[in-house]
Amino acid sequence: MKRLLLPPLAFSLLLILACSSTEGQGSKATEPSSAAPMIIEGFMCTAIYEDKPVGIDNDFIVDDRVYIWLSWENVIGAHEVKIVWVDPNENLYETKDSFTSRDGKMTIYFLLDTTSSAPVGRWLAEVYLDGIFVRSYAFWLSSL
């Protein structure tokens, strides 16, 4: 029985060609600056009780109250948090609030009180700190 041996360069080229059609390749890790403001926890929920999120979910029904609850770290001093609610038709609704933190920690939440005429589908809650985009949270509204 005769074996076919490929030289190392040919084997490497064959391996690269075989893998070139694979999607979703790559990764990267970064470590945020220890002084950078960051969201430690963030949830979409149906209520707030004693400043804690209740009914954590991403699926809500039209006429529900939808809350976004955010716990921040490294936010010493005065800051403004703005939430831009984006409905499935790309209409924007803005809510904002300010806070001052002495120890660099703060928990804040916002409310979207939907009505029976609210569009069903995928919504976004875009979070901004001092006018700078931080991240977004997706959630869904559905009819009964």
Q: Is 10 helix (H, G, I), strand (E, B) or coil?
A: helix
Q: In whole angstroms, what is the distance from residue 60 CA to residue 46 CA?
A: 8
| pLDDT of amino acid 33 | 60
Q: What ranges do the domains of the chain cover? A: 38-142
Q: What is the pTM of this model?
A: 0.76
Q: In whole angstroms, what is the distance from residue 7 CA to residue 30 CA?
A: 38
Q: Is 17 helix (H, G, I), strand (E, B) or coil?
A: helix
Q: Is the pLDDT of residue 22 over 90?
A: no
What is the tens place of the pLDDT at every residue in 33-73? 668 999 999 999 999 999 999 999 999 999 999 999 999 99
Q: What mean pLDDT is reported for the chain? A: 86
**Domain 38-142: CATH architecture, name and number where available:** Distorted Sandwich (2.70)
- In sequence order, the β-bridge partners of residue 108 are 70
Averaged pLDDT for residues 84-102: 97
